[in-house]
Amino acid sequence: MSVISAFKPQKFKNRVNIYLDGEFGFGLDLENFVKLGLKVGQELSEKEMVEITKKAEFQKALDRLLMFAMLRPRSEKEINDWMIRKKVNKNIIKSLLERISDLDLLNDRKFAGWWVDQRITFKNKSLRDLEYELKNKGIAKDVIFEVLDETEVDELGSARKLIEKNNYKWSRFPGSISRQKKKIYLARKGFSWDTIKKATE
């Protein structure tokens, strides 16, 4: 048995350090601290400490995951990659995914819709580029095709905006060379030949 000898707040206001027998024992979030009703002088068995530290580990990982997941919509692959990078305990990954799924923060279809809208609006992406990016984000093919099919993508408008934005790169070249360079640029961006032809006329 160990005896709780002191509590000290961490620099993060929502966590406290718990000391056992005069030495640091473990950190705990305030929510679990209040729920458990821990007190100075209270005895804790080995089993109780294991259960408490499990709850503390889960809550700490959840708090960090929520900060990551709420910064912007995330794909399931991004979430899983984040947990690998942060070396999250494999035993709590399933519970973490269930919790953020309950909060509607794990929805590949919603993520794909948001991603496409952002990339069209701010990056003037081609359909081919959008498909490639979503695949890299781990989105299933059927979801990609559904989202792209439902989204109004003005590829010609995007191609023309890209040319206008980058026209200074080709302005010093004669007309035919300038057009050729524009075509090569748009081809690298994933636009179809038909769109490239219309955009450079």
User: For the segment 93-131, what is each residue's pLDDT rounded down to a tens digit?
Assistant: 999 999 999 999 999 999 999 999 999 999 999 999 999
Which pLDDT value is given to residue 14? Answer: 83
Please report, for the chain, the start and end positions of each structural domain, with discontinuous segments joined by +: 2-102, 107-152, 154-201
Instruction: Indicate whether 149 pLDDT > 80.
Output: yes
CA atoms within 13 A on the CB side of 62: 21
CATH code for the structural domain at 107-152: 1.10.10
In 3D space, the residue among 63, 96, 92 whose CA is nearest the CA of residue 79 turns out to be 96
Contacts of 115 (CB under 8 A, 6+ apart): 73, 130, 133, 134, 137
2-102, which class in CATH? mainly alpha
pLDDT band, very low/low/confident/very high, at 1 (cuts 50, 70, 90): confident
Q: What percent of the chain has pLDDT over 90?
A: 83
What CA–CA distance (Å, rounded) separates 173 from 179? 9
**Does the fold of domain 107-152 match that of domain 2-102?**
yes
Q: Is the model's pTM score more than 0.85?
A: no
Q: Looking at this protein, which amino acid is placed at residue 167?
A: N
CATH topology of domain 154-201: Arc Repressor Mutant, subunit A (1.10.10)
What CA–CA distance (Å, rounded) separates 45 from 132? 54
